[in-house]
């Protein structure tokens, strides 16, 4: 060590003044040093001379440059790297607070709440790095530093560079890119390809140690440690004498699964699941601990009442409500109920205590908007849902041109009245105007008001408003995202009215334009994912877009729901159900999202649970089209077509003879042994083709139920040619009867579904 230090000091004397050793391991030594050029304290890490000689400077430094590009709040940045007289080194900030290892040595086990927060922060950092194609390979307590109590992941450099730069056989010569107590099973195989799930296994080992006081697999030697994880199931926390909630043990089981296909799918997904677990385990079932004032940091924003003389200004009061929900959702430590659930109370005289109970929130914001010409008046009050007492209220009179400043002032006042305002620093700016053109903004709000109705006429009207908004401000990213939403929904045959080849490219182009203008726009990523799923059939791109959307906005329930639909279509049923349930927790009263949960159960062949979801929806809305449609489909899958018939007939009685409902009716009639009536439905569908777009999928589905294989085959050829959004969903159990047909297998291969 002394020779190493002397050699290093001699080589770097003009750049760094080395003060003392901080620690060393089998691969490297870390020194505290002074960066002479920038007058700052740094940590200088140098590889042992034997490793430096084996790796070679050129390859090692090339890989280190990849790591140097990583920039994330929970990643330790790389300041410098180089070759000092044959010694390979790199330089990082010096974190005086120490590592997670130091904390565990001082305190032993940590409380679950603190453990989960640290794991979530590490998972967030890993998700970012994995998106850049970088796997850590050596997650352990020593490489998780603490800065003001927050996790900072260090040392991407050595493990990354050793693995990528090493000559063949180097790992077999004694260089292990990992630490045996935390290595994933696949790391023991030199030839096994690694992906991000290897890091998740290591992070699972860390979480286990934080809670249990020791790693999950202990042994007298490194070889024995590795052998145990290859041959034994991971121990439970109870085996270590630790009492833990079942949900926490379940998370550990999925992180420490021997086969990576059984683990949590990605670091991004892990971050979402840990955040959800934190909410579920926190006091008050998702609230912050209750302070002396009795106020909770969970809230709902009820639809602001339109008090304008013109009832047409309702779009403006609804838009103001949605903007406040979005802005408040940016506050760390504050859980805000999503729009759909909050808007179930629109126009209803409901006591705030009932709202709080149904939405599980501690406070409710109510308000009104009065617009007259270029003036707006907003009144708002925050009420405790536990006792109905007013916590805060105020009124604001402003010009319409100052609407964003008004929203910012209002939002900041609300945050100051909540308990987290004193405990946590709030963002300086919560309202982020996406346009400077007031006219474009009001047109956008009109478009949102129509788009959220989800009917075909409303989507047509919304497109008109969004197009006008874009004309006023071509750089209005949210308006482009609104266009993407409307065109993609109109091009999806399940409830759309325009041929996919006409509508989907417009929607895809609008989503791409939104992201060109604002790469951090969650809505742009979400609708880009929908285009990739329904039209491009590009599964990797779709999943990447959905993941990015929920990373940017973890409370974006609609993106979670579409991600669940993607997972459902790809046959990843457990993940789909979990993701849909998370969406439902974020938006507990949203019937559309509850329907997605039911669909995920259906595709997973969990029919009783699917029917329970649909029944719950129909109890609230007895004419809900999608609940009736999917009830019929699920009854068919259960072999109960007689129960399916009244459900689909009820849907048609209320919603009319629209193609999607007629297709299900024809299919039910075919299964019931009424072929003439089923073929009559096919004729009715074909008769509609001159008046509107009718997907060839609808007739093909009926022909499949009639066992008319040749007609079915020709129909699906037309479905493929039409770039139908129904193609990704050929995993529906309804197609099980001809799944083994050669033509169907060819279809699955050509489209990439199979």
Point out the residues that are catalytic: 138
- Number of Cβ atoms within 10 Å of the Cβ of 13: 12
DSSP letter for each residue of 238-300: GGGT----HHHHHHHHHHS-SSGGGS-S-HHHHHHHHHHHHHHHSTTSSSPPP-TT---SEEE
On whether the CB atoms of residues 527 and 484 are closer than 8 A, the answer is: yes
Tokens standing for residue 257: 């699964």
| Per-residue tokens: 232 | 């034994």
d(CA 751, CA 727): 8
Q: What is d(CA 543, CA 649) in angstroms, rounded to the nearest whole number?
A: 36
Query: What is the rounded CA–CA span in Å between residue 448 and residue 12?
Result: 61
Q: Name, in order, each residue with C-beta under 8 angstroms of 141's C-beta and a sequence gap of 6 or more.
A: 99, 100, 101, 104, 206, 209, 210
Could you tell me the sign of the dihedral formed by the alpha carbons of 11, 14, 15, 21, in that order?
Answer: positive
The H or E element containing residue 151 is: strand 150-153
- What span, in angstroms and rounded, lies between the C-alpha atoms of 217 and 148? 30
The answer to whether residues 43 and 30 touch, using CB atoms and an 8 Å cutoff, is: yes
- For the record, the structure tokens of 643 come out as 């129960």
Q: Are 633 and 602 in contact (CB under 8 A)?
A: yes
Distance of CA 459 to CAs 272, 307, 333, Å? 32, 26, 35
Q: Is the dihedral of CA 547, 549, 553, 556 positive or negative?
A: negative
Specify the pairing of strand 298-301 against strand 335-336: parallel
Dihedral class, residue 564 (left if φ above 0, else alpha if ψ from -120 to 50, else beta): alpha
Q: What is the DSSP annotation of 51-73?
A: HHHHH-HHHHHHHHHHHHT---T
Distance, in Å, from the CA atom of 690 to the CA atom of 699, rounded to the nearest integer, reads 15
Q: What are phi and psi of 166, to 5 degrees?
A: -65, 145
Torsion region of 154: left, alpha or beta (phi above 0 gives left; psi -120 to 50 gives alpha): beta
With tokens 């998700």, the residue in question is: 127
The count of C-alpha atoms lying within 13 angstroms of the C-alpha of 685, restricted to the half-sphere facing its C-beta, is 25
Per the document, the length of the chain is 754
């Amino acid at each position: 060590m002394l020779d190493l230090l002397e050699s290093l000091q001699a080589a770097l004397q003009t750049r760094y003044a080395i003060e003392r050793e901080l620690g060393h391991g089998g691969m490297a030594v870390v020194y505290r040093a002074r960066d002479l050029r920038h007058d700052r304290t740094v940590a200088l890490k140098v590889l042992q001379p034997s490793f430096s000689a084996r790796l070679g400077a050129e390859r090692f430094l090339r890989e280190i440059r990849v790591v140097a590009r990583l920039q994330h709040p929970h990643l330790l940045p790389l300041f410098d790297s180089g070759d000092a007289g044959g010694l390979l080194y790199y330089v990082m900030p010096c974190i005086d607070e120490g590592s997670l290892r130091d904390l565990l040595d001082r305190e032993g086990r940590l409380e679950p709440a603190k453990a989960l927060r640290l794991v979530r922060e590490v998972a967030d950092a890993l998700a970012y790095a994995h998106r850049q194609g970088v796997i850590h390979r050596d997650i352990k307590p020593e490489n998780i530093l603490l800065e003001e109590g927050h996790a900072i992941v260090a040392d991407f450099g050595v493990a990354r560079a050793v693995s990528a730069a090493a000559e063949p056989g180097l790992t077999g010569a004694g260089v292990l890119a990992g630490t045996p107590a935390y290595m994933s099973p696949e790391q023991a195989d030199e030839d096994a390809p690694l992906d991000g799930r290897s890091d998740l296994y290591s992070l699972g080992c860390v979480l286990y140690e934080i809670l249990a006081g020791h790693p999950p697999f202990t042994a007298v030697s490194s070889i024995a440690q590795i052998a145990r994880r290859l041959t034994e199931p991971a121990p439970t926390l109870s085996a270590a004498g630790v009492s833990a909630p079942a949900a926490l043990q379940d998370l550990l089981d999925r992180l420490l699964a021997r086969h990576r296909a059984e683990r949590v799918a990605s670091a991004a997904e892990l971050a979402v699941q840990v955040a959800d677990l934190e909410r579920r385990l926190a006091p008050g079932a998702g609230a912050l601990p209750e302070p002396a004032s009795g106020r909770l940091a969970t809230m709902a924003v009820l639809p602001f009442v339109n008090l304008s003389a013109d009832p047409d200004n309702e779009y403006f009061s609804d838009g103001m409500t949605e903007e406040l929900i979005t802005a408040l959702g940016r506050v760390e430590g504050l859980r805000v109920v999503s729009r759909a659930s909050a808007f179930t109370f629109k126009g209803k005289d409901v006591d705030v205590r009932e709202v709080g109970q149904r939405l599980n929130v501690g406070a409710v914001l109510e308000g009104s908007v009065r617009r007259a010409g270029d003036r707006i008046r907003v009144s708002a009050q925050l009420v405790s849902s536990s006792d109905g007492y007013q916590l805060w209220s105020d009124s604001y009179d402003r010009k319409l041109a100052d609407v964003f400043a008004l929203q910012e002032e209002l939002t900041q006042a609300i945050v100051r009245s909540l308990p987290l305002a004193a405990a946590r620093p709030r963002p300086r700016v919560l309202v982020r105007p996406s346009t400077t053109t007031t006219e474009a903004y009001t047109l956008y709000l009109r478009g949102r008001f129509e788009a959220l109705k989800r009917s075909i006429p409303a989507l047509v009207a919304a497109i008109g408003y969004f197009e006008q908004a874009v004309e006023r401000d071509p750089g209005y990213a949210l308006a482009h995202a609104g266009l993407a939403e409307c065109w993609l929904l109109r091009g999806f045959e399940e409830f759309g009215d325009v041929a996919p080849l006409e509508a989907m490219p417009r929607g895809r182009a609008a989503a791409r334009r939104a992201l060109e203008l604002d790469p951090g726009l969650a809505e742009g990523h979400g609708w880009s994912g929908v285009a990739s799923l329904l039209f491009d059939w590009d599964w990797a791109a779709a999943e990447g877009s959905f993941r990015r959307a929920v990373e940017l906005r973890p409370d974006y329930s609609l993106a979670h729901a579409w991600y669940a639909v993607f997972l459902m279509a790809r046959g990843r049923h457990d993940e789909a159900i979990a993701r849909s349930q998370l969406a439902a927790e974020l938006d507990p009263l949203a019937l559309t999202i509850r329907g997605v949960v039911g669909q995920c159960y259906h595709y997973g062949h969990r029919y009783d649970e699917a029917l329970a979801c649909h029944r719950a929806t129909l109890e609230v809305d007895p004419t809900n089209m999608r609940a009736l449609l999917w009830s019929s489909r699920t009854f068919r899958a259960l072999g109960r077509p007689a129960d399916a018939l009244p459900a689909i007939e009820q849907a048609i009685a209320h919603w009319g003879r629209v193609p999607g409902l007629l297709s299900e009716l024809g299919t039910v009639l075919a299964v019931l042994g009424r072929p003439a009536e089923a073929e009559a439905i096919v004729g009715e569908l074909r008769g509609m083709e001159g008046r509107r777009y009718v997907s060839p999928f609808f007739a093909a589905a009926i022909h499949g139920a009639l066992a008319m294989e040749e007609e079915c085959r020709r129909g699906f050829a037309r479905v493929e040619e039409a770039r139908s959004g129904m193609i990704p969903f050929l995993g529906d159990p309804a197609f099980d009867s001809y799944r083994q047909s050669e033509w169907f297998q060819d279809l699955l291969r050509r489209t990439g579904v199979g």
